[in-house]
Amino acid sequence: MSGDWTTPAHGPLSLVFIEVDSDQDGAADYEIRAEARSKQGPFRDVLSSATYAKGNEQRLNRLPLNLVTPDIAKTHPFNNSVLVFTALLSDLGLTEDNPLLSYFASTEDPVNLIAGEQTAWATFDAKKPLIDTTKHGQDGLPLFVGPGPVKVDVSAEGRAGQGPLDLLLLHHTNVAGSRFEVVSLTPRRPETWRSPRARARASARGRARSSRSW
């Protein structure tokens, strides 16, 4: 969505949400929302990433929005324009034998209560990620706080590919217009890639681009 939001959880409404298809039938089975800890109001300013089965308002789980609670890292979900949802694979119906999911992101207009922007479907194999953004992150999360490089591991399958791999970096504390970038990783030699970014979260999609080799 364009511009900053005051809060991504506008009362009971999530301005941004993720739809997940875990059985590959072309229809969403789960939804991940931004949600206040007090869902029914009065709404507290502590936000969570809540997972629901489609068509069922019984919450399956809730985890910290932007990966961690404020006492661990200040991720600034308010007055921002970037967001990280958290969900357990098991809550999305995934198993060792069924590691594949498809997903898209969507927005909603809180004033007119109409659908906003929507991304195309994307597919992710949880068993064989081409880029591992968690191994070198804080506490096994795709989270990098403070000075130092952002390090990710590229799998053998990723290094063997013909084209570049796109890595999305979210910079939660940057000014508007500089909160995300897509880094295209191009094969050169099998090693861990580093980016000298002070604070970022790594995912796998986005727009503004730069290029690195590994």
> At 189, is the pLDDT very low, low, confident or very high (cuts 50, 70, 90)?
low
Query: Is 70 exceeded by the pLDDT of residue 206?
Result: no
The predicted structure's pLDDT at residue 207: 45
94: left (phi over 0), alpha (psi -120 to 50) or beta: beta
Cα–Cα distances (Å) from 44 to 37, 47, 48, 52, 63, in that order, read 6, 8, 11, 20, 15
pLDDT score recorded for residue 2: 63
Domain extents for the chain? 9-125, 131-213
Confidence (pLDDT) at 199: 39
Q: What is the per-residue pLDDT across 105-120, written as a single tens digit (0 to 9) for each?
A: 999 887 666 778 899 9
DSSP-assigned states of every residue in 83-148: ------GGGGT--SS--EEEEEEEEEETTTTEEEEEPPPEEEETTS-SEE-STTSGGGSSEE-SSS
How much is the pTM? Answer: 0.82
Task: Give the span between the Cα atoms of 69 and 19, in whole angstroms.
Answer: 23
For residue 102, what are the β-bridge partners?
Answer: 21, 123
Closest CA to 49 of 63, 31, 69: 63
